[in-house]
């Protein structure tokens, strides 16, 4: 599809600097722009590329002032990154929507299916499952007994949802997500192998949650593992039994939360973070990548490192750590000098 940039500016409540009749048909990165595409400038580190990009138009902030001549038109908006997200969402909504039930697939006679649902080939909907309106269920999805799926939710290929779990409205579960598998619960047995503790709880996923590919959300031992409204999980994330993740918390790839820990709302958790079990992480917490959380974390702090600590303390520690090789050499030289003095 092709769009004039003046029409894009109107959609985004922005203004055009340059030729508003320019037509674009795709999106590109600013450092790899090609003619006929729209790009954006949100990170100041990429400002240099706006003078060399071959893209036809660039989304910029309203206060952007170029230092030299540009070869592209500008669309000035309040927030280029947010405007790009809005534009991509509008573009996605314009694509034809899938509907209908493909064959072969299985829908239990006791399941309830809403209007305008898409059910891909080889999908399986179990007894008493309830599927809301405009839900998109891609091929090879399994939905267990008594599962509830809210309106406008998307389950991509290969998603597995175990019995009794609840998924809210406007959620996105990417390929390979598993919801409701057994939590890791075993009792030591002095006479032999561990004894499995049966996991009889479920998972509750509230509205507007997105879960990245091949992530796993374990069911509770008793009660519920809960992802609150607006949670966003990256790929390859592990959420253990009885964990609760607060509203609008985001977590980057390869992170994990051990059993029964509670993470507050509006937290930002970097990649490869590990949170030990039975802990509480407060609200508005920022956790740097690869941090190891081994104790409770209060509200409104930024931490990093393993074991984790305040990010300023961590940076001071790292400054000392980098000097250790030289300090070691200095100590060795000092010992040699002292030995030489003892012999005199």
Q: How many Cα neighbours within 13 Å face the side chain of 208?
A: 7
Q: Which among 237, 254, 246 is positioned nearest to 289, based on CA atoms?
A: 254
163 and 184 Cβ atoms separated by less than 8 Å: no
**How many residues in the chain?**
344
- The active-site residue out of 140, 152, 174, 241 is 241
Q: Which residues pair with 154 in a beta bridge?
A: 136, 172
Q: Structure tokens of 42?
A: 């949100």
**3-class DSSP state for residue 184?**
coil
Q: Structure tokens of 5?
A: 């940039």
Tally of CB atoms within 10 A around 223 = 15
* Calpha distance 294→109 (Å, rounded): 48
Q: Is 275 exposed, middle or buried (0-12, 13-18, 19+ CB in 10 A)?
A: buried
241 is catalytic: yes
Could you tell me how far CA 278 lies from the centroid of its own chain?
23
- Name residues whose C-beta falls within 8 Å of residue 52's C-beta, 6 or more positions apart in sequence: none
Classify strands 274-275 and 292-293 as parallel, antiparallel or unpaired: parallel
The DSSP line for 109-162 is TT-EE-TT-EE-TT-EE-TT-EE-TT-EE-TT-EE-TT-EE-TT-EE-TT-EE-
Q: Which among 168, 176, 160 is positioned nearest to 215, based on CA atoms?
A: 176
Which active-site residues does the annotation give? 241
């Amino acid at each position: 599809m092709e769009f004039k940039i003046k029409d894009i500016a109107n959609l985004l409540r922005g203004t055009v600097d340059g030729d508003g009749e320019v037509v674009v048909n795709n999106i590109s990165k600013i450092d790899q722009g090609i003619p006929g595409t729209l790009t954006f400038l949100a990170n100041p580190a990429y400002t240099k590329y706006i003078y060399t990009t071959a893209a036809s138009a660039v989304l910029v902030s309203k206060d952007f002032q170029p230092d030299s001549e540009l070869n592209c038109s500008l669309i000035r908006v309040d927030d280029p990154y947010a405007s790009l997200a809005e534009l991509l969402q509008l573009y996605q909504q314009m694509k034809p929507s899938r509907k209908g039930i493909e064959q072969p697939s299985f829908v239990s006679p006791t399941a309830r299916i809403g209007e305008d649902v898409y059910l891909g080939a080889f999908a399986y909907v179990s007894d008493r499952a309830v599927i809301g309106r405009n839900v998109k269920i891609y091929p090879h999805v399994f939905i267990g007994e008594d599962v509830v799926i809210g309106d406008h939710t998307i389950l991509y290929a290969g998603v597995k949802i175990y019995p009794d779990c609840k998924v809210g409205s406007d959620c996105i579960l990417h390929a390979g997500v598993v919801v409701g598998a057994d939590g890791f619960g075993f009792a030591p047995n002095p006479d032999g192998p561990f004894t499995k503790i049966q996991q009889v709880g479920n998972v509750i996923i509230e509205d507007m949650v997105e879960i990245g590919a091949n992530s796993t959300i374990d069911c509770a031992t008793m009660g519920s593992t809960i992802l609150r409204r607006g949670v966003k999980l990256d790929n390859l994330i592990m959420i253990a039994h009885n964990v609760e993740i607060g509203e609008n918390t985001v977590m980057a790839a390869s992170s994990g939360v051990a059993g029964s820990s509670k993470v507050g709302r509006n937290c930002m958790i970097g990649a490869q973070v590990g949170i030990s079990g039975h802990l509480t992480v407060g609200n508005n917490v920022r956790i740097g990548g690869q941090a190891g959380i081994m104790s409770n974390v209060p509200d409104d702090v930024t931490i990093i490192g393993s074991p984790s600590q305040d990010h300023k303390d961590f940076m001071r520690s790292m400054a000392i750590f980098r000097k250790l090789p030289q300090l070691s050499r200095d100590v060795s030289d000092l010992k040699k000098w002292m030995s030489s003095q003892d012999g005199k």
